[in-house]
């Protein structure tokens, strides 16, 4: 059984209940004090023989219970009264995203990294029941999000990606491939796909070995090149304003260019495919077509709690208690007299 509260802010209204209890008790104390000032309590009570302390207490108790139910109804508690077992069919996809500083180049608007985020977000929108994961890489690779079916969480992590996530700068495509392959279970029969987005600049020497291992493990890699062959400088910004550009050891401005050859080699060695990422729609259509040609497999069963609102029951009880509270009088009734609660008989 699962439960959650929809509007927790209304819980603060419950403070009204102890306040009303204190007011009621103070009122009883004040009346008793005034009765003593008026004369002997026994004689005063004989003047109001139908007055019942119990009925007053019962009336305020019912009222407070009704008020509590009304407040809890506003909070709208939900219970997981129904748990469904769902089976999904699809493939496992890992997005390997280059977050090196070269991805900040603005030869593609608004810059290469933001363009990458747009592409990945649009691809996710086209997915059905596929599971996805995210890897970030620069000079080393970093796991951002493990395999999941929660696309909204994936998009949240995607938008937060930046070069500061990876301390080691440069671009190590082989590290990205190795880490991406660990996201997939070796004994899983689900089809495996890595979608690698990068400008293709690579400072590692293990690409060939990494792609051979990926191919051996049945891992396909689709590569997407972001940037232009002409290239552009890497802006250094503060508060969104460009102060200067990245320079090399000789003080020359670094111009980073799209290297399609490396990305095409990776795609070829893993029986995947390559596409230039400057046109988002073309990329999304290309990936969508590629996914249609990949065999779908059934995932292990997942459980989802189906939360149902319970406010209607609480509001119903509240209005019922308010209704019967109207008919509670503070006069003694025969059954109350027989019970002699609060020693109301002489």
Q: Which residue has the higher pLDDT, 318 or 37?
A: 318
Quote the CA–CA distance of 288 and 311 in Å, as a whole number.
Answer: 43
DSSP label at residue 104: G
- E-only strand ranges, 167-286: 192-198, 219-225, 232-233, 235-238, 241-245, 255-256, 273-276
Residue 1: which pLDDT band, with cuts at 50, 70 and 90? very low
Angle in degrees, 0-180, between the axes of helices 311-326 and 53-75, rounded to the nearest 10: 160
Domain shared by 24 and 143, yes or no = no
The pLDDT value recorded for residue 301 is 47
Q: Which residue has the higher pLDDT, 300 or 346?
A: 300
pLDDT beyond 70 at 303: no
CATH number at residue 146: 3.40.50.410
Domain shared by 32 and 176, yes or no = no
Quote the CA–CA distance of 164 and 142 in Å, as a whole number.
Answer: 11
Share of the chain above pLDDT 90, in %: 35
Most confident of 7-11, 200-204, 273-277, 323-327: 273-277
- List of residues 6+ apart from 112 with CB closer than 8 A: 98, 102, 103, 104, 105, 106, 199, 226, 227
Q: How far is CA 44 from CA 51, 260, 330, 336, in A?
A: 11, 101, 17, 20
pLDDT beyond 80 at 257: yes
The pLDDT value recorded for residue 242 is 78
Q: Which residues pair with 94 in a beta bridge?
A: 133, 194
Average pLDDT (47-51) is 54
The pLDDT value recorded for residue 342 is 45
Domain shared by 157 and 277, yes or no = yes
Domain shared by 222 and 314, yes or no = no
The pLDDT value recorded for residue 2 is 43
Task: Look at residues 194, 201, 212, 145 and name the one whose alpha carbon lies nearest to residue 173.
Answer: 201
Q: Is 56 helix (H, G, I), strand (E, B) or coil?
A: helix
Number of Cβ atoms within 10 Å of the Cβ of 83 = 11
H and E: helices and strands count for the chain: 11, 15
Quote the CA–CA distance of 38 and 32 in Å, as a whole number.
Answer: 10
The pLDDT value recorded for residue 249 is 82
pLDDT beyond 70 at 48: no
Domain shared by 75 and 94, yes or no = no
Q: Are 101 and 246 in contact (CB under 8 A)?
A: yes
Domain shared by 129 and 96, yes or no = yes
Average pLDDT, the chain: 82
Domain shared by 57 and 107, yes or no = no
What Rg do the C-alpha atoms of the chain give, in angstroms? 35
Share of the chain above pLDDT 70, in %: 79
Domain shared by 33 and 117, yes or no = no
pLDDT beyond 70 at 121: yes
**Full residue range of the structural domain in which residue 154 is found:** 89-298
Tens digit of each residue's pLDDT (9 = 90 or more) over 274-291: 999 999 999 999 999 999
The pLDDT value recorded for residue 52 is 58
Backbone angles phi, psi at 342, to 5 degrees: 65, 20
Average pLDDT (110-129) is 93
The pLDDT value recorded for residue 111 is 94
Domain shared by 74 and 11, yes or no = yes
Quote the CA–CA distance of 245 and 235 in Å, as a whole number.
Answer: 4
Domain shared by 235 and 116, yes or no = yes
pTM, entire model: 0.62
Residue 137: which pLDDT band, with cuts at 50, 70 and 90? very high
The number of folded domains in the chain is: 2
% helix / strand / coil in the chain, to the nearest 5? 45, 25, 30
Domain shared by 280 and 310, yes or no = no
Domain shared by 78 and 141, yes or no = no
């Amino acid at each position: 059984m699962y439960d959650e509260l929809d509007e927790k802010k209304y819980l603060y209204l419950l403070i009204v209940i102890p306040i009303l209890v204190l007011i009621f008790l103070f009122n009883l104390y004040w009346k008793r004090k005034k009765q003593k000032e008026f004369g002997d309590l026994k004689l005063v009570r004989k003047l109001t023989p139908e007055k019942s302390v119990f009925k007053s207490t019962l009336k305020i108790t019912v009222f407070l219970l009704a008020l509590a139910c009304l407040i809890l109804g506003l909070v709208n508690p939900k219970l997981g009264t129904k748990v469904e077992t769902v089976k999904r069919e699809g493939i496992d996809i890992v997005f390997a995203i280059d977050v090196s500083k070269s991805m900040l180049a603005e030869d593609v608007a608004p810059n290469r990294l933001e363009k990458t985020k747009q592409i990945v977000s649009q691809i996710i929108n086209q997915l059905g029941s596929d599971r996805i994961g995210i890897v970030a890489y620069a000079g080393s690779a970093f796991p951002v999000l493990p395999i999941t079916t929660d696309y909204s969480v994936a998009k949240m992590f995607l938008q937060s990606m930046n070069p500061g996530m990876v301390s080691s700068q440069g671009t190590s495509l082989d590290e990205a491939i190795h880490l991406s392959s660990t996201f997939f279970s070796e004994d899983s029969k689900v089809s495996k796909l890595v979608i690698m987005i990068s400008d293709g600049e690579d400072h590692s020497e293990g690409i060939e070995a990494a792609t051979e291992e990926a191919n051996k493990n049945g891992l396909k890699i689709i590569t997407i090149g972001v940037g232009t062959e002409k290239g552009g400088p890497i802006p250094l910004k503060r508060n969104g304003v460009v102060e200067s550009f990245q320079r090399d050891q000789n003080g020359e401005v670094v111009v980073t260019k799209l290297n399609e050859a490396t990305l095409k080699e990776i795609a070829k060695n893993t029986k995947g495919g390559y596409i230039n990422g400057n046109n988002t729609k073309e990329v999304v259509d290309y990936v969508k077509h590629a996914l249609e040609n990949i065999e779908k497999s059934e995932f292990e069963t997942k459980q989802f709690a189906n939360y149902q609102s319970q406010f209607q029951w609480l509001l119903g009880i509240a209005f019922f208690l308010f209704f019967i509270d109207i008919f509670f009088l503070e006069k003694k009734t025969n059954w109350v007299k027989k019970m002699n609660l609060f020693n109301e008989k002489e």
